[in-house]
């Protein structure tokens, strides 16, 4: 029974990768770079986007907002006058705990790709399954908050290993939580040696400039 | 395609419920009450158990610790000299993001049921899928931390609706985060009217006594 389950999972991931490649081709043709933003519920993904979307150099940003249901985050971001498209996994996708390539493909017709250089896909808040499903993105980023604890890279290694960038958020809470930054970085290095990290506070703005610069450097293949 | 996916999900949940009933029967026969403890990564589930497991009135507690991989939390709890059994979804279960009835069933032979009155099952850190899978428990509880934000009941309503108790943790961080307790409780009431809540800080111990009393009252059917 377990082996059957594992095989089904592997088949599903193969099928997902095929659709992800089709998405990537479509994004490439439109000259859109795509960044998949992941993290636990409440890590501060939306708060971080609120900080940087308004000014991204010459880049025109867009957001594909993934949630199980509702549109709270999309509503927050839409007030920044950035194109935001909502994708709900509860509508037609059985309430899945992650985005997959097929869901993103279903949203393609609704995305104003001609007005966007950098599309940020905010995934469902979850440290497990989003890391398993490519969606056709160029880069994967995650946000981990110091309030979540320093053991998270060891408990959810696939997620920390999947990303090109790990943002360590809520620096302003450091004096009030039991979180040893050196130990966190040590754990992170154990599961993903050399991965880039940026420490910041989306709440106070400290360190946000570094994330903004990182984002601006993402679209090496974006149109001039 | 979407309808097929939804049907597969429904069939899987039916099969899960059948196994959950078998688990429940076995727990009943052994005179063990079972509480399913859920919450996001870093909400403080393990820290809360560390606070209460040592003294639970006349109850002999046990823990079934669910993780994708590793045994960090089980190791923390084992130092309390409470029987702790580790269940890893990465071993034989494809790295699932939740526990299901079949996984718990596979752990039954390893559980020292004769030494336990109240078995607490610490689920995988996740606000989506754990709420969909009964495991044969008597009650479901969740931990939500004020650092996660006041919007969580609206974003993950199934989880907040599934539980008989919502623990609001990290009260000590209230002065340092943007979290309006009244608004959180209002959102919670919108998705699960009348659900019991306990506000506490597992870190400082404030309010933990209320959770301990709640746990002590759970096994109405436990042996004398």
- Dump pLDDT digits (tens) for B185-214: 999 999 999 999 999 999 999 999 999 999
A6: closest chain B residue by CA:
B94
pLDDT band at B10 (very low <50, low <70, confident <90, very high): confident
Q: Tell me the mean pLDDT in the region A60-89.
A: 94
Q: Tell me the mean pLDDT in the region A183-203.
A: 98
pLDDT at B2: 53
Q: Tell me the mean pLDDT in the region B33-41.
A: 98
In chain A, residues with a C-beta closer than 8 Å to the C-beta of B155 are 41, 67-70, 72-73, 125
pLDDT at A169 over 80: yes
H or E segment and range at residue B88: strand B84-88
In chain A, residues with a C-beta closer than 8 Å to the C-beta of B170 are 147
Which residue from B97, B156, B157 is facing A129, i.e. has the nearest CB? B97
Q: With b meaning 16 or more CB within 10 Å and e meaning fewer, what string describes B197-210?
A: bbbbbbbeeebbee
pLDDT at A57: 86
- Going through chain A in order, the beta strands assigned E by DSSP cover 33-39, 61-67, 84-88, 118-122, 139-145, 165-169, 196-199
HSE on the CB side for A8, CA within 13 Å? 11
Q: By mean pLDDT, which of A11-15, A26-30, A48-52, B170-174 is the weakest?
A: A11-15
- Dump pLDDT digits (tens) for A36-70: 999 999 999 999 999 999 889 899 999 999 999 99
Q: Tell me the mean pLDDT in the region A14-34.
A: 96
CA distance A20 to chain B (A): 17
CA distance A217 to chain B (A): 30
Which residue from B69, B126, B155 is facing A72, i.e. has the nearest CB? B155
pLDDT band at B220 (very low <50, low <70, confident <90, very high): low
pTM of the entire structure? Answer: 0.93
pLDDT band at B221 (very low <50, low <70, confident <90, very high): very low
CB contact under 8 A, A170 and B147: yes
CB contact under 8 A, A70 and B154: yes
ipTM given for this complex: 0.91
In chain B, residues with a C-beta closer than 8 Å to the C-beta of A173 are 147, 173, 176-177
In chain A, % of residues over pLDDT 70? 94
Between CA A190 and CA B40 the distance in angstroms is 23
B201: closest chain A residue by CA:
A177
pLDDT band at A222 (very low <50, low <70, confident <90, very high): very low
Q: Tell me the mean pLDDT in the region B118-122.
A: 97
3-class SS at A197?
strand
Angle at B180 between CA B178 and CA B185, to 5 degrees: 140
Between CA B60 and CA B54 the distance in angstroms is 9
């Amino acid at each position: 029974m377990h082996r059957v389950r594992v095989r089904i999972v592997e088949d599903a991931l193969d099928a997902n990768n095929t659709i992800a490649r089709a998405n990537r081709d479509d994004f490439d043709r439109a000259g859109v770079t795509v960044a998949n933003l992941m993290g636990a519920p409440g890590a501060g993904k939306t708060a971080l986007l609120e900080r940087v979307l308004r000014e991204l150099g010459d880049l025109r940003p867009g957001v594909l907002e993934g949630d199980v249901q509702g549109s709270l985050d999309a509503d927050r971001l839409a007030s920044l006058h950035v194109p935001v498209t909502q994708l709900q996994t509860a509508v037609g996708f059985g309430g899945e705990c992650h985005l997959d390539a097929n869901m993103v493909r279903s949203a393609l017709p609704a995305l104003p790709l001609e007005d966007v250089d950098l599309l940020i896909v905010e995934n469902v808040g979850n440290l497990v399954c989003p890391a398993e499903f490519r969606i056709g993105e160029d880069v994967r980023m995650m946000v981990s908050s110091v309030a979540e604890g320093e053991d998270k890279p060891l408990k959810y290694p696939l997620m920390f290993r999947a990303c090109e960038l790990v943002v360590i958020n809520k620096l302003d809470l450091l004096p009030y939580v039991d979180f040893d930054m050196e130990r966190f970085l040590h754990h992170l290095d154990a599961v993903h040696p050399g991965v880039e990290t940026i420490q910041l506070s989306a709440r106070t703005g400290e360190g946000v400039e570094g994330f903004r610069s990182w984002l601006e450097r993402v679209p090496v293949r974006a149109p001039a």
